[in-house]
Structure 1
Amino acid sequence: MSKVVSCLIVGMFLCLTVARAQEAKPAAPVAAKAETKSNTTESPVSIYGSITGRVVSEDGPLPFVSITVLPVSNNNRNPGTSFRNVTTDAEGNFKVDGLRASAWQVLPSAQGYVVESTNDEAASPYFRIGEAATIRMVKGGVITGRVLNSVGEPLIAVPVSVQYVRDAQGRPASGGGTGGGFQTDDRGVYRIYGLQPGSYVVSAGRTGGGGGPGGGRLSPYEGDVPTYFPTATRDTAVEVSVSSGSETAGIDIQYRGNKGRAISGKITGATTDANARGFGSPGGGPGGISVTLTHAATGSMFNRTFVQSRNGTNTYALYGVPDGEYEVTAERNSPADNDAASAPRRVVVTGRDVTGIDLVLMPLASVQARLQLETENKEIKCETKRKAAFEEQLFVLQPEAESGSTQRQNIRRPIFDNHLGAPNRAGEMSFRNLNVGRYQLLTKLLDDNWYIRSITMPGAPVKATAKAPAKATTIDVARNGLNLRSGDKLTGVTVKVSEGAATVKGKVKAEENNSLPPMLRVYLVPIEKERADDVLRYAETGVSTDGAFSLGHLAPGKYWLTTRIEIDDAQKKIHDNAERAKLRREAEVANVVVELQACQQLTNYEVQLKK
């Protein structure tokens, strides 16, 4: 059994914890007849099946829970067209039949409950047909209090929002989800329920909406600067801790009611699209252009508005902005998959409106890739009950954080447009609407028996000389990443996988009378010198609070195993030449050798942590 973590923002931030039961586990390799083809260019199978599961709480099975099963589509513009809804029975069981081969998300919804979170990074938040999900839900936490004016009188119908800033383990919450839609009653009391355990900041007044002209609905508090608990700005807000099933009361906010400033400007560049329909565009034109204001220090969205077109000029204004430092970005959404976005502009508000913050929309980039299953060693076939399908695999183009920017991405893309790529039966996958920057192609879901051999694309050919003919070149995408410019349409990226992957599962044990440090990670480093710069042979994962770790999709071979406390992005350090060399030296000194055979499942492996 392995736990599964998925983080989803739907109005507010939720973290999913699911346990997966595999229908078939890989075993030792078995002999196979030689095949005539050197690689498979089409999915080995095309099948339909079901996903089963059970929803439980600390009190037992949870009946009548709504379950949504959602596929990850190769066309990530509209992945929800074939979702399914079912309800658990009296014993908390559910079954969804007639599902095609795909990577599926299983999303439960039960009033007053949230899905138990975990810090197990090795598990996947996606399921394949034939698998069973055990979903563990806990009672959500509650934050309640009053909103009062400067003389202690209750304020009625004040919007109240919470922002998830840290999980239960104290780690920064990915995405910084915001939950709104709550307001005070006639006694000035608010109550926000169904909260994931962790830390929040609570604010009174509108945040995340348009504010003023072009924004959301008007209210008596429109244009006011939000007041954060207890009576603070966002920079000085006090975090509120929430536990599962508990109520955190007395979170009273003294509402300041200060009027905020405005940030305004024009939108130029790729503003039009003949296929666009949306805000401000009843018949094409700039439809769907939105402007987002992000708090520079925290990376959380503070405000959003939609562009109004007047006499052919696209203008925007964001109201109710307190003093501080922000980033402003614009994006244009189009159903034709030719979205556009601006680079972020840094804005400092100090006591007055800021005008002339013009944003230039530039076409977004796309990447076309292809998955290939190699059969180089025809004798290696891991034992399994059914063959994997290309459509069940899942990849992600992960942007590297830009230096000097607090945001992991220039634009916070919509939830279903998150750079995921699911191959079709021929192995083809697309990544669309990508911002300018450097990306790494990583796996999100890969068959347990497969490992990645290479990720490459054609490079610029070497020109012919008097002594040598022209020569084709290949770029190592796994090592160098993909550098995307505005409007780039990259093709020819090839991901080659092979059968025979190994797995290592175990526990890290601290010295006697000591506990494991937070942010601890386990690394596997290839021993062979010729693999020193092959980033695909490096593996890393986090260690859970009980010391457990799991590493999968490993190529057969010899490795050094080592541990590190990592605060920063561990994957980024593997791709950095200097950091990778440093990691290799540390692993060589520790000299903990692990040798893995094809299809091997090494379990109960113990690692003794030393000072």
Structure 2
Amino acid sequence: MTAQPIGGTPGPASRVNTNSNGSFEFTTLHAGAYIITASRKNFAPTQYGQKDFRSAGLPIILDEASSTFLNIRLPRLGTISGRVVDENDVGMPNHDVVIYRNTRPPQMLSRLRADERGAFRFYGLDPGSYVVRTVAREYEEGSYLPTFAKETTILEDARVTEVNLDQEVNNFDVSPKQGRVYKIEGEVLPGRQPTAVNLTMASDMGREEVQTGKSFRFPPVAPGEYELYAEGPGDGSYNCFMLGGYMPLPVRDRDLTDIQMPVPCVRETQLSVTDKGGQYISPQRVQLLARRKDLAGVGESKSLPIAISRVQLPPGRFELLLKPPPNYCVVGFSYFGARAEITDKGRPDGWNEILAGSGGTLRFTLSSTPGTMHGLVSGLSHEPVEGAPVYLEGYDPDQRKRVTELQVARTDSRGQYQFTTLAPGSYRVLATFEFQYPDAAAMERSGAKVVAVQEGKDTLQDLDLSVIR
């Protein structure tokens, strides 16, 4: 159990565990407003007062020497179970199965191996839409293609299921289709010997990883488009800061058993951070986030270690986001050098997609006069609303899409909210209890207001609390 103070309430978050009867007690809370959250493994985290799993919790208001009693029910996360069966409806033992969120490209969540009867069970699933697919496999009697339920290799024809809380979807059987699969084997050619590299093969259905110093082999695959990329340690010098390689890998109608994957030395990438007047700002004061982008979609976000003014950035497609020091905002971004390219330039303060080469320079410009936004959130009777969530996103009005990370604030006891250190540009802002983390489509449906923020200016924007009736 967690009690998170909001809206100017003093003190850190408080945490306690329930006893065997599920009872809990917070004993040292200051007067003010709190969000109370309950969580447990394989159950959906729940805030007090949530309308449903998508919505935000209601604040608990405590006066001095007061107490309150809360009852919070934790719903179980969803489950999908079924069998991998052959054409005679006989279970196929030890066949690997993968579950994906039904997005484009699909988001791989988990992979497991069916038991000796072909049975499988995915648990701990958030509410949403899912597809299930078997993995390509070779048996003595023949090979089987990656296959969705029911019996199709095409994503658009796959059986889709909606999973809700406290729900188990049963009999989600998959019957793999027989067909030719192809071997993927070869050698890496590192630019420094001896060394081991991490080699990843990506497709629109996920990623496979192996570690090798020479020979490699991936599980057999169906025909399609794939990518190979590799990363490994160099000797730390300017000319061999790390090892890295990338190549497209189309698989058509033959085994690929003679792949030669160059993994040459990669020069360091320079990181330059200045203010608008060209004054140097130490890169040690910023945080640079990177996430690889490949056929499988956008990967996990990682903070790149900064060595003085250098970062390790292997070849391939990446999205970058700079988090500036306090009281600064990002107003400029560029990337240049040999084989360096900006493939999708967003807003400087958001994620920017690049095609990284060997070396190059990342240049960010910061402003010491960011904008701010504040206002009053009013309810249906025009009363100030305490503890209301207010969501802010950078917004491209021409392409009608989100271009920065979502920011969240809660109103104080007077119904006031504030966002600081904002880069100049267009934003959408929304006050509502209907969502915890609304996506761009939810912001659109809820009538979020478009607001222009200017550098060094404070923008006043009062809001009506949005309610879905």
State if a TM-score over 0.5 links the two structures. Answer: yes
**Residues 184 and 436 of structure 1, relative CA distance in 2, 3 Å threshold:** closer
Q: Please tell me whether residue 347 in structure 1 is matched to residue 253 in structure 2.
A: no
Question: What is the deviation of 1:20?
Answer: 6.1
Match of 2:329 in 1: 452
Match of 1:327 in 2: 227
- Aligned equivalents of 1:148, 1:319: Cα separation in 2: 21
Q: Does the CA-based 8 Å contact 1:367-1:432 persist in structure 2? A: no
Code of the aligned partner of 2:170? A
- Aligned equivalents of 1:370, 1:290: Cα separation in 2: 30
Deviation per CA, 1:255-293: give whole Å up to 9, x if none: 446562112333224253xxxxxxxxxxxx232x23333
Match of 2:209 in 1: 304
Match of 2:199 in 1: 291
Superposed, 1:591-606 pairs within 5 Å as 602-604=461-463
Match of 2:357 in 1: 486
Partner of residue 184 from structure 1, selected from 100, 115, 120: 115
- Aligned equivalents of 1:597, 1:497: Cα separation in 2: 8
**Residues 358 and 562 of structure 1, relative CA distance in 2, 3 Å threshold:** same
Q: Please tell me whether residue 110 in structure 1 is matched to residue 40 in structure 2.
A: yes
Q: Does the CA-based 8 Å contact 1:146-1:250 persist in structure 2? A: yes
- Aligned equivalents of 1:327, 1:150: Cα separation in 2: 32
- Aligned equivalents of 2:97, 2:181: Cα separation in 1: 17
Q: Does the CA-based 8 Å contact 1:224-1:320 persist in structure 2? A: no
Q: Does the CA-based 8 Å contact 1:366-1:431 persist in structure 2? A: yes
Match of 1:129 in 2: none
Deviation per CA, 1:105-136: give whole Å up to 9, x if none: xx99833224477599xxxxxxxxxxxxxx99
Secondary structure (helix, strand or coil) at the match of 1:487 reads coil
Task: Give the TM-score taking structure 2 as reference length.
Answer: 0.58
Question: What is the deviation of 1:328?
Answer: 2.7
- Aligned equivalents of 1:143, 1:184: Cα separation in 2: 15
Match of 2:49 in 1: none
Q: Please tell me whether residue 149 in structure 1 is matched to residue 63 in structure 2.
A: no
**Residues 421 and 369 of structure 1, relative CA distance in 2, 3 Å threshold:** farther
Higher RCO (C-alpha under 8 Å, 6+ residues apart) = 1
Query: What are structure 1's unaligned runs of at least 5 residues?
Result: 1-17, 26-48, 55-61, 66-88, 96-106, 121-134, 167-171, 213-218, 273-284, 375-389, 461-475, 510-520, 527-537, 545-549, 564-568, 571-589
Deviation per CA, 1:213-236: give whole Å up to 9, x if none: xxxxxx989975333212222544
Q: Please tell me whether residue 502 in structure 1 is matched to residue 335 in structure 2.
A: no
- Aligned equivalents of 1:136, 1:422: Cα separation in 2: 42
**Residues 480 and 196 of structure 1, relative CA distance in 2, 3 Å threshold:** closer
Task: Give the TM-score taking structure 1 as reference length.
Answer: 0.47
- Aligned equivalents of 1:422, 1:319: Cα separation in 2: 33
Code of the aligned partner of 1:110? R
Question: What is the deviation of 1:480?
Answer: 12
Secondary structure (helix, strand or coil) at the match of 2:312 reads strand
Question: What is the deviation of 1:367?
Answer: 4.4
Deviation per CA, 1:9-57: give whole Å up to 9, x if none: xxxxxxxxx99644748xxxxxxxxxxxxxxxxxxxxxxx965457xxx
Question: What is the deviation of 1:456?
Answer: 6.8
Q: Does the CA-based 8 Å contact 1:453-1:497 persist in structure 2? A: no
Secondary structure (helix, strand or coil) at the match of 1:328 reads strand
- Aligned equivalents of 1:240, 1:365: Cα separation in 2: 46
Match of 1:86 in 2: none
Question: What is the deviation of 1:430?
Answer: 6.3
Match of 1:262 in 2: 183
Question: What is the deviation of 1:183?
Answer: 1.9
Code of the aligned partner of 1:204? T
Match of 2:262 in 1: 360
Q: Does the CA-based 8 Å contact 2:289-2:302 persist in structure 1? A: yes
**Residues 149 and 299 of structure 1, relative CA distance in 2, 3 Å threshold:** closer
- Aligned equivalents of 2:91, 2:450: Cα separation in 1: 65
- Aligned equivalents of 1:328, 1:247: Cα separation in 2: 37
- Aligned equivalents of 1:242, 1:326: Cα separation in 2: 30
Question: What is the deviation of 1:420?
Answer: 2.1
Partner of residue 435 from structure 1, selected from 315, 318, 321: 315
Q: Does the CA-based 8 Å contact 1:340-1:361 persist in structure 2? A: yes
Question: What is the deviation of 1:392?
Answer: 10
Secondary structure (helix, strand or coil) at the match of 1:342 reads strand
**Residues 539 and 326 of structure 1, relative CA distance in 2, 3 Å threshold:** closer
Partner of residue 420 from structure 1, selected from 282, 303, 310: 303
Q: Please tell me whether residue 196 in structure 1 is matched to residue 102 in structure 2.
A: no
Q: Please tell me whether residue 233 in structure 1 is matched to residue 153 in structure 2.
A: yes
Code of the aligned partner of 2:195? P
Superposed, 1:156-167 pairs within 5 Å as 156-166=93-103
Deviation per CA, 1:157-196: give whole Å up to 9, x if none: 3333312334xxxxx58x823312342354x432221112
Q: Does the CA-based 8 Å contact 2:329-2:423 persist in structure 1? A: no
- Aligned equivalents of 1:504, 1:221: Cα separation in 2: 69
Query: What are structure 2's unaligned runs of at least 5 residues?
Result: 29-36, 47-52, 57-71, 278-282, 338-346, 381-391, 409-416, 430-438, 441-448
Match of 2:24 in 1: 91
Superposed, 1:113-152 pairs within 5 Å as 113-115=43-45, 118=54, 138-152=75-89
**Residues 293 and 505 of structure 1, relative CA distance in 2, 3 Å threshold:** farther
Deviation per CA, 1:280-323: give whole Å up to 9, x if none: xxxxx232x2333322xx3522x33343x5xxxx2323232122
Code of the aligned partner of 2:100? Q
Secondary structure (helix, strand or coil) at the match of 1:241 reads strand
Secondary structure (helix, strand or coil) at the match of 1:227 reads coil
- Aligned equivalents of 1:392, 1:158: Cα separation in 2: 49
- Report the more deviating stretch, 261-270 or 451-460: 451-460
**Residues 162 and 291 of structure 1, relative CA distance in 2, 3 Å threshold:** same
Superposed, 1:203-242 pairs within 5 Å as 203-205=133-135, 224-233=144-153, 235=155, 236-242=157-163
- Aligned equivalents of 1:108, 1:198: Cα separation in 2: 21
**Residues 201 and 494 of structure 1, relative CA distance in 2, 3 Å threshold:** same
Q: Does the CA-based 8 Å contact 2:96-2:112 persist in structure 1? A: yes
Identity %: 15
**Residues 488 and 429 of structure 1, relative CA distance in 2, 3 Å threshold:** closer
- Aligned equivalents of 1:373, 1:22: Cα separation in 2: 35
